[in-house]
Chains A and B, each alone.
Chain A
């Protein structure tokens, strides 16, 4: 046996090796595809003299420093808001009876793709939007919409709001899962018995531990916020865009020489994300100092309580409003007429909905197909790779490190690097290439969800099954897989959710020829036929909802006869 293992060395780990090679290879190609043109090498466009010219072009283009500053400002503000709201909401509500409905509500926003959230916020806050319709003419006295610039304001405030509203439920969901492990109640009770108010107790005792456990997801959220494209296209300023949108504009520029500053900009964006990480780290230190000071001061109450209450209120209000906006937007899909300042549509027409659905159907079908394929493929591959690499620590570590890259490197930088490769090999516009691009993001998420449970799985259960006479396969299918069913299905749901919300990967790999709900809604967001947008928003909500709720409910049904796994008392 031992001999067998050694002679087989890495051969037994080949699903893991294949994943490492596939992912590592993709990342290498992407890196080369960005770095070569960034330093002037792109023979197809006459770039044969390596140098720093592209960077000179990039830094000399008008308004570029403002765009860089705006990206950083937007990313840091949105993430700060989301993190503060997460801690504040948990501090204020964790022990209250409002907590369960709140957690459910946050899931609803969590499953909505970024684009849907952006469209909802735009419909809520635009001068002729839902809020103004409800306030007018009754409260405001206006019969025609006011003239203010929000969303698409030049300071990125609407974009900050959109990103924060999306990141808040993401962090909240992860925090709730972590709290299950921290078991905060005894500590909170102890603090309460010493006379600390519940909010202050949570911040001093629980928040620091929670923050440590949430560190990686927060960096993922921060990287996303600094480089977001899809929300920025809907909520950001068109005349003073963030850096990622400037890069996309260069990508679409008919003048192909724009590819050189674009490549340099893609490198700069990676650096900018690094700067963002550095600033975040510093901010965390400062904040930790304040918390320590607060703890040492021994005060039992303080202004922090009010701040936390405000943060919780703000977060909950944002979640509720966003949900209302989503349904309000969806209502447009049925509305025959709905004009400012009417509170509700003047009439409903099933014809309009039928027409809208007809034009949305092909994109919805494509989205569903990609979500299903990406979820099945990534979960199976990750399972195989985890199983195969568990006795090869170096391979497991390599895989673990590789998985982090697509989550913290701006996607536009990676995808620009790949797009040259795809189009040179004429792979762009192919179904398989889009799936490839989706896997680049769904596999890391599946890995993150499955790696922990897989590592913690008690291999003794398989051993016991074998001792009781089960065959190799019997043990695997009837013991290991059911024991891991919940994380496997969760990974499946999240992978489908991630795939359904991918805009840039679909755009770059699909060469504009493959349309999903995400690309279609961005395209239509610009031309603004709100009835069609409403139908799109509904379709975008329904698909992920099925995937995520289905994957949460499925284990209960599948494991209904297995006490101890289905949550029922053993």
Chain B
């Protein structure tokens, strides 16, 4: 573009100056774009992107050193329920440790409900994305595990390959091998153990209800002071299950098998009758429900309700340790029985960073991580290891916690109610939503 100095052409020159400026700005933009694209390309198309056919995870004979080597530099998208800030803080700690020790980049994908991750995996499958999926590791159990396993969307069996597997208490805890009656078969690794508890402030109500008959009387005597998380939140759904198991006793065989519609209506009739009678006496008259367990714990902390519920016997101790609930808070199980189950870690079949996912699971099962998870001041979730089988220094981590009174207990102080087949939970959630859900 020639520069013209004559007056007649100054207007045009100005216009050209403008265009040239535009071009320079655009060139800067293009450069930024190219750099960014290159960076993004490295992320998706680089040499270590994706488990190729020879990758250690895909060869059952690959030894652990090889897996750890391949895991270095991989990015693990860990889809984990993020409703509890203490759990999130624990995962944040794991992220730092994994980067330091194994060069793994753990990314906590914060889900509101594990079903979101299941949806994503199924959607990827139906779109033909058989590898390089967007979920590498998922915190899972029950109906979500059943859904993925039935569709062959899980990687494994991988549990026997983990060096930490030999310390897991498979013999003592049948729920580690049978998740909501579905055989685990090494497709998910047990991570923690829970049973269903109620939490209350002993300074506010000295004698909380200890079975469903007492609960009914108590709720009617104290209108507006009780509620439960809206199913399909897992705490809310578990409350429904526990009520069903207690209100329709003697049906263990029926609950252990897949649900049939005809039986469902008959067996659940007492549950719906009970809920219909209860709802007018609930918080907000049963017109709305807290979205999840921690939200109900906040309602308890705010004095809006007198009871909350959790899948963690250390719920009250942990919440008191963090200052959310007063020191007088207590958790307890119903004398009529508590639903108990385990929660697990699984790897989708189309996961991109399988090696790093394996190393992450093995780390989360290490005595150090398990002891930290059991510390009620940090999370307070009961562990899965046989302490007597651990080497002395590892065992000492747990004994020190126990002596200080900070170890989460795995002992259930009452009868255990076995989880029904996952199809019951799905049917219950659907029926609840039809009756009381979004209108």
Contact present for A384 and B22 (CB under 8 Å) = yes
Closest to A241 in B: B438
Which of A62, A152, A432 is within 8 Å of B37, CB to CB? A432
A sample of 16 more A-B contacts (CB under 8 A), given A44-B127, A147-B284, A526-B291, is: A5-B12, A14-B26, A18-B26, A62-B438, A128-B299, A254-B115, A254-B118, A380-B28, A381-B26, A384-B23, A387-B18, A463-B10, A466-B10, A472-B17, A480-B21, A520-B110
From the candidates A253, A349, A526, name the one contacting B119 in the complex (CB within 8 A): A253
B residues adjacent to A (C-beta < 8 A): 1, 3-4, 7, 9-23, 25-26, 28-29, 32, 36-37, 39-40, 43-44, 77, 79, 82-85, 88-89, 92, 107, 109-113, 115-116, 118-120, 122-124, 126-129, 132, 134, 147, 223-224, 230, 283-285, 287-292, 294-295, 298-299, 301-304, 323-324, 326, 436-439
Please measure, in the bound complex, the distance between the C-alpha atom of A526 and the C-alpha atom of B230, giving whole angstroms.
Answer: 12
A527/B292 contact (C-beta < 8 A), A254-B118, A432-B36 known? yes
State whether A145 touches B304 (Cβ < 8 A): yes
Q: Does A294 contact B (CB under 8 A)?
A: no
* Contact between chains at A476 and B21 (CB < 8 Å): yes
Chain B residue nearest in CB terms to A523: B110
- Shortest distance in angstroms between A483's beta carbon and chain B's nearest beta carbon? 13
Asked whether B43 lies within 8 Å of A430 as measured between CB atoms, the reply is yes
- Least CB separation from B21: chain A residue: A476
Q: Give the size category of A's interface with B.
A: 35 or more
- Interface positions, chain A 458-483, Cβ under 8 Å from B, are 459, 462-463, 466-467, 472-473, 475-476, 480
Q: Which 6 A-B pairs have the closest CB atoms?
A: A128-B302, A147-B224, A528-B298, A387-B22, A472-B17, A527-B294
Decide if B12 touches A1 in the complex (CB within 8 Å): yes
Query: How distant is the Cα of A152 from the Cα of B283 in the complex, in angstroms?
Result: 13
A411-431: CB near B (< 8 Å → 1, else 0) gives: 000000000000110101111
Quote the shortest CB–CB distance from B17 to chain A (angstroms): 4
Considering only residues 521-542 of chain A, those with a C-beta below 8 Å from chain B are 523-524, 526-532
Contact between chains at B323 and A352 (CB < 8 Å): yes
Docked-complex contact A424 and B110, CB < 8 angstroms: no
CB distance from A11 to the nearest CB of B (A): 10
- Give the chain B neighbours of A16 by CB distance below 8 A: 22
Q: Contact between A430 and B44 (Cβ–Cβ < 8 Å)?
A: yes
Q: Is A237 an interface position by the 8 A CB rule? A: yes
The 6 sampled A-B contact pairs (Cβ below 8 Å) are: A254-B122, A339-B301, A380-B25, A423-B127, A472-B17, A528-B298
Interface contact B119-A240, CB-CB below 8 Å: no
In Å, the complex CA distance between A475 and B9 comes to: 15
Inter-chain CA distance A359–B88, complex, in Å, is 8
Which of B4, B324, B438, B439 makes the CB contact (< 8 A) with A529? Answer: B324
A512, B39: Cα distance in complex, Å: 20
Q: A339-B302, A463-B10, A529-B294 are in contact. Are A152 and B288 (CB under 8 A)?
A: yes
Bitwise, A208-249 to B at CB < 8 A (1) or not (0) is 000000000000000000000000000001111100001001
Nearest CB in chain B: distance from A256 CB, A? 6
Task: Please tell me if the beta carbons of B85 and A529 are within 8 angstroms of each other in the complex.
Answer: yes
- The residue on A at minimum CB distance from B298 is A528
A377 within 8 A of B: yes
Interchain CB contact under 8 A, B4 and A1: yes
Task: Write the nearest CB–CB distance from B312 to chain A, whole angstroms.
Answer: 14
A239 adjacent to B21 (CB under 8 Å): no
User: Min CB distance, A534 to chain B, in Å?
Assistant: 12
A residues less than 8 Å from B285 (CB atoms): 147, 149
Annotate A367-391 by CB proximity to B: 1 below 8 A, 0 otherwise: 0000000000100110111011011
Look across to chain B and name the residue whose beta carbon is closest to the beta carbon of A361.
B92
Question: Which residues does chain B contribute within 8 Å of A529, judged by CB atoms?
Answer: 84-85, 294, 298, 324
Q: Is the CB of B29 within 8 A of A256?
A: no
Minimum CB–CB distance from A304 to chain B (whole Å) comes to: 38
| A-side contacts of B223, CB under 8 Å | 147
Return the CB mask of A490-529 against B: 1 if under 8 Å, else 0: 0000000000000000000001110100001001101111
User: Is A94 interfacial (CB 8 A cutoff)?
Assistant: no
Residues of A near B109 (CB, < 8 A) are 512-513
Minimal beta-carbon separation of B299 from chain A (angstroms): 8
B224 / chain A contacts, CB cutoff of 8 Å: 147
